[in-house]
């Protein structure tokens, strides 16, 4: 059969596996249908991709089809056999450019595959292309990208969130079955909330960071986007595991998909679900987010779980600590982009210092320069001990708060974002933008895992609202079990209305 773009867009990972096993379609047909969907929705609409890699995708599809023709089953090929997958453009993929959304790396060709990319390809994924992002992941709306603005598929006048906005928007629109993003302070979970998809940040160290261009090395984590909890679990199973190339990688045996099955079959009766009531009075939180959160708690109780009131006394200090630690690490990591070995280089400079200054001034965008300068100041003599040391001490206090909280609860629930997606240009000052991540930043500070679960549309905005589920460090199975049980209680649309254009509907 010939797979139409609309039929493709409705497929889950499980549907793809079943369809390939039963020869309802081939992997090449999947890739071609995905590119047709991208052609219909990308240009002038979503603008999620910075580059496409059709040669890589079709070659991978033909390899999957060849293995099937030789008698292999889909299970023999890998967890992601035939799955059209996109990568945030800070992940190195051989045969592509890795720009990080910055003119500084506009022409940088990947010289290796990031470990998460290698594992996805080894599991049979089809590499469709690289996805737009805030420049070097500095932002919460994908508006700081040097190349384009990605649009939220639920309302093209609104942002998709950030910094992994392209990864979230491509999945929400139906152009991709799944994607990978990175999360330093909420960059998977917040755009997942804005775009109405599932986004999962595992505990720090579960997925290797090797080959992913670093923002904050002690904060960054790779994770998946998809339209269901089962799909993000399968993706995480495919890309997780110890990597000797990443000194922070952890050997944590886990089967994330098994946790989803447990949630679907055994439920969450008897589990303890923690809530911090103070969060419902957070700065900027909207009524529709509060109402959606309270409805989620009712679902949790109906499923037989116990609600436990908790305190996280240092949680609100996380934002301040993050904007000390993050810029300091960014300053250190971005010093390598010196216009000598690679990267944007201004011609005609009279000496090396002038070449540095002009190239970095023109190659980096405003938000990137702001964070580099801030990090430089915070690490300077006489300032280092005033800000950086206390920020690390606050980090320790926040980590201890979470450890104490998880002595009383198996998971913690919070809103993912205090509001739904905002319009382009609506949030212009950095402080207001930073508040978009007020609920997500603390667990990057502490290293815990967290997941955004779509819980419907806001009563006022009509836009997706997300619920954040947080678990104890390295017990991410708790998160997926609760997410799977809760997901089954909601009857929500998994594709943005824009996807109707794939079958001839209104755009």
User: Residue 1's pLDDT is what?
Assistant: 58
For tokens 């400079």, the residue is 349
Rg of the chain in Å (alpha carbons): 22
Q: Give one DSSP letter per residue of 195-243, joined into a string.
A: HT-EEEEPPTTSB--TTBPPS-TTT-EEEEEESSHHHHHHHHHHHBS--
Q: What does the pLDDT look like over 10-48, one tens digit per residue? A: 999 999 999 999 999 999 999 999 999 999 999 999 999
Sheet holding 221-226, edge to edge: 49-52, 126-131, 84-88, 178-183, 221-226, 198-201, 450-457, 464-470, 411-415, 272-275, 306-309
Q: What does the pLDDT look like over 42-60, one tens digit per residue? A: 999 999 999 999 999 999 9
Q: What does the pLDDT look like over 170-194, one tens digit per residue? A: 999 999 999 999 999 999 999 999 9
Q: Is 81 within 8 Å of 64 (Cβ atoms)?
A: yes
Q: Which residues contact 400 (CB under 8 A, 6 or more apart)?
A: none
User: Could you count the other beta carbons within 10 Å of the beta carbon of residue 460?
Assistant: 11
Predicted confidence band of residue 505 (pLDDT cuts 50, 70, 90)? low
Ordered domains of the chain (ranges, CATH): 5-317+393-503 (3.90.1300.10)
Positions annotated as catalytic residues are: 88, 163, 187
The rounded mean pLDDT for the chain is 96
Predicted confidence band of residue 434 (pLDDT cuts 50, 70, 90)? confident
Two tokens, residue 296? 């989620």
User: Residue 342's pLDDT is what?
Assistant: 85
Q: Is 17 within 8 Å of 27 (Cβ atoms)?
A: no
Residue 163: asked if its preceding bond is cis (omega within 30°), the reply is yes
**Beta strands 178-183 and 49-52, pairing class:** unpaired
As a whole-number percent, the residues of the chain with pLDDT over 90 amount to 93
Q: Which residues contact 391 (CB under 8 A, 6 or more apart)?
A: 320, 321, 324, 325
User: Residue 262's pLDDT is what?
Assistant: 95
């Amino acid at each position: 059969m010939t797979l139409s773009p609309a039929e493709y867009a409705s497929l889950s990972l499980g549907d793809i596996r079943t369809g390939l096993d039963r020869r309802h379609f081939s992997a090449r047909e999947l890739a071609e249908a995905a590119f047709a969907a991208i052609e219909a929705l990308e240009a002038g609409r979503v603008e999620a991709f910075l580059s496409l890699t059709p040669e890589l995708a079709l070659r991978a599809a033909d390899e999957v089809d060849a293995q099937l023709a030789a008698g292999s089953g889909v299970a023999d090929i890998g967890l992601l056999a035939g799955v059209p997958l996109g990568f945030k453009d800070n992940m190195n993929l051989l045969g592509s450019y890795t720009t990080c959304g910055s003119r500084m790396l506009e022409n940088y060709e990947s010289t290796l595959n990031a470990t998460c990319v290698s594992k996805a390809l080894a599991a049979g994924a089809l590499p469709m292309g690289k996805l737009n992002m805030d420049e070097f992941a500095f932002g919460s709306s994908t508006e700081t990208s040097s190349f384009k603005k990605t649009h939220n598929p639920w309302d093209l006048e609104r942002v998709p969130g950030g910094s992994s906005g392209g990864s979230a928007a491509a999945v929400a629109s139906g152009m991709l079955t799944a994607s990978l993003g990175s999360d330093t302070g909420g960059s998977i979970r917040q755009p997942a909330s804005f775009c109405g998809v599932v986004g999962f940040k595992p505990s720090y160290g579960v997925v290797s960071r090797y080959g992913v261009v670093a923002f904050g090395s002690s904060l960054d984590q790779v994770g998946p986007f998809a339209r269901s909890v089962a799909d993000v679990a399968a993706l995480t199973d495919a890309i997780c595991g110890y990597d000797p190339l990443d000194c922070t990688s952890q050997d944590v045996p886990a089967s994330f998909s098994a946790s989803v099955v447990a949630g679907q079959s055994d439920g969450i009766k008897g589990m303890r679900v923690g809530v911090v009531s103070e969060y419902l009075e957070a700065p900027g939180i909207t009524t529709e987010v509060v109402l959606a959160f309270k409805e989620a708690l009712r679902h949790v109780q109906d499923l037989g779980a116990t609600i436990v009131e908790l305190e996280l006394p240092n949680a609100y200090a996380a934002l301040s600590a993050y904007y000390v630690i993050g810029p300091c690490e960014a300053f250190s990591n971005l010093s390598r982009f010196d216009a000598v070995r690679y990267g944007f280089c201004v011609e005609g400079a009279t000496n090396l210092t002038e070449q540095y200054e002009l190239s970095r001034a023109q190659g980096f965008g405003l938000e990137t320069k702001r964070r580099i300068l801030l990090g430089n100041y915070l690490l300077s003599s006489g300032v280092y001990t005033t800000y950086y040391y206390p920020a690390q001490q606050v980090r320790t206090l926040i980590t201890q708060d979470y450890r104490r909280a998880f002595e009383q609860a198996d998971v913690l629930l919070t809103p993912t974002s205090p509001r739904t997606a905002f319009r382009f240009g609506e949030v212009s000052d950095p402080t207001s933008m930073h508040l978009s991540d007020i609920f997500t930043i603390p667990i990057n500070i502490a290293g815990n895992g967290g997941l955004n679960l779509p819980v419907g549309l806001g009563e006022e905005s009509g836009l997706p609202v997300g619920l954040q589920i947080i678990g104890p460090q390295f017990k991410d199975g708790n998160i997926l079990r609760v997410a799977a049980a809760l997901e089954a209680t909601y009857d929500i649309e998994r594709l943005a209305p824009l996807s109707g254009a794939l079958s001839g509907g209104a755009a």
